[in-house]
Amino acid sequence: MVWLLNPPTPKVVKDAARATKRVGSLTVEKVTETTLSELLGLPGMRVTHFAIERQNETQYLHLFCEHEHDVAICPRCQMVASGGYDHKDRCVRHLDIWEMKTLVHFPQRRFDCEVCGKPFTESLTWIEPKRRQTQAFEVHIYERAKKTPRKHVALEEGLNESTVLEIFKRQAKKRVMAPPQRRVRALGVDEISLRKGHKQYALVLSDLGRRCVIDVLANRQKDTFETWLDNLSEAERKAIKVVSMDMWRPYRSAVKAKLPQAQIVADRFHVMKQLNHQINLLRRALQRKAVGPLAEALKGSRWILLKKRSELQAEEEEKLQVIFEASAELRAIYLLKEEFRTICEKITNRDQAARFLQAWTWQARATGSRYLKRFVNTLANWWHEFLNYFDDRITQGFVEGINRAIRGIINRAFGFRDFDNFRLQVLVEHGET
């Protein structure tokens, strides 16, 4: 027996003209009286009549159906009930047919169970109780609302915006409440600002191995994170071997308390961000009191100083040299920044990285720069966690990408008033559902 680890993906033919070549391999059936009923995808129903209604520029297709069988299964005793029923006429929305909004009319039956002696309303597989849309239509709306603003979906589908929201939440909860039961080995922990300038943060938890979001918490407080960890099973907690985070102490305290076996990794990009922040503070301080050539050189220099030197354009490199000539302190801190980046990119051995970083900190302190001193103190506080990066070189690059995607969700929705709706949207689009 041959096992295919990566089975070939079936080729999808998008050109309709080429479909003629596949006709020979198809099972072709004759059109009969039951064909429309079968294609409709509503088990147990038979289409008997239809009507087309026009309202302004919109066309509606009315399909009138009847039940194929005169019996139903009692939900209590699972026995067949066949007599003593009445009904009421119902109409529900179904998938569009030939660009016409399709409405299905059918009798909703109510039986008297001869065994239980109690009445019950017949349960249908293609529609949930008390719904005005078939399950197929609800799935269609859910898939559209995943990527399109609800207002647009409502306008295009002829629904109320609140109806679209209800359908989305109902379908999303089914998927989010029962995700695949897979244990996380590498956990990514990072926050995202919900409203710029308001210090409102949500905590995004990611599986770095499978590259998906596993949960979103309402804030980044330590007790909130600890409660989430407490709700994991013991096996799930023990499965977490690595936790990557930015340099936010409450995260570290929570992990040490709840996941003592896990290796904490201070994310390399967040460490580099701290160093870049100090360079930017120095630039701003110099710019405030600069005059003459230095003032001119620092104008619009922020991204030149933060950018990787090997990626600078020729004119940017020329401007950088002018800055170096005007400020010895900025030159020293910039060159040390580039050296620090090189250590992170080139060194793959933890012990070797420790020696290079120790030498780097001595150089940084020797400059006498208070900005570098602040960064060195921060690095010292996270020394072991940052060295852990050099073991497996785990980063939060995926998490940063997810945060940008989540920011897109927030912008698309013009903000979220309800956190639960926000959480559902993130898990549906970026979770393993």
Asked whether the predicted pLDDT for residue 259 surpasses 70, the reply is yes
Confidence bin at 1 (pLDDT 50/70/90): very low
* pTM for the full predicted model: 0.73
The burial class, CB within 10 Å (0-12 / 13-18 / 19+), for 222 is middle
| CA trace torsion 150, 168, 90, 110 (10° rounding) | -170
180-187 mean pLDDT: 82
Mean pLDDT of the chain: 87
> For residue 115, how far is the Cα from the chain centroid?
50
CATH code that applies to domain 186-267+397-430: 3.30.420.10
pLDDT digits (tens, 9 = 90+) for 136-169: 999 999 999 888 888 899 999 999 999 999 999 9
> What is the residue extent of each domain of the chain?
44-128, 186-267+397-430, 268-392
pLDDT digits (tens, 9 = 90+) for 300-359: 888 989 889 989 899 889 888 988 888 888 899 999 999 999 999 999 899 999 999 999
pLDDT digits (tens, 9 = 90+) for 76-94: 888 888 866 788 999 999 9
Residue 31 or 10, more confident: 31
Task: Please give the angle made by the CA atoms of 143, 149 and 153, to the nearest 5 degrees.
Answer: 65
What DSSP character marks residue 185?
S
111-130 mean pLDDT: 88
d(Cα 409, Cα 406) in Å, to the nearest integer? 5
* Contact call for residues 176 and 190 (beta carbons, < 8 A): no
pLDDT digits (tens, 9 = 90+) for 209-249: 889 999 999 999 999 999 999 999 999 999 999 999 999 99
Residue 11 or 423, more confident: 423
d(Cα 153, Cα 161) in Å, to the nearest integer? 8
> For residue 64, how far is the Cα from the chain centroid?
41
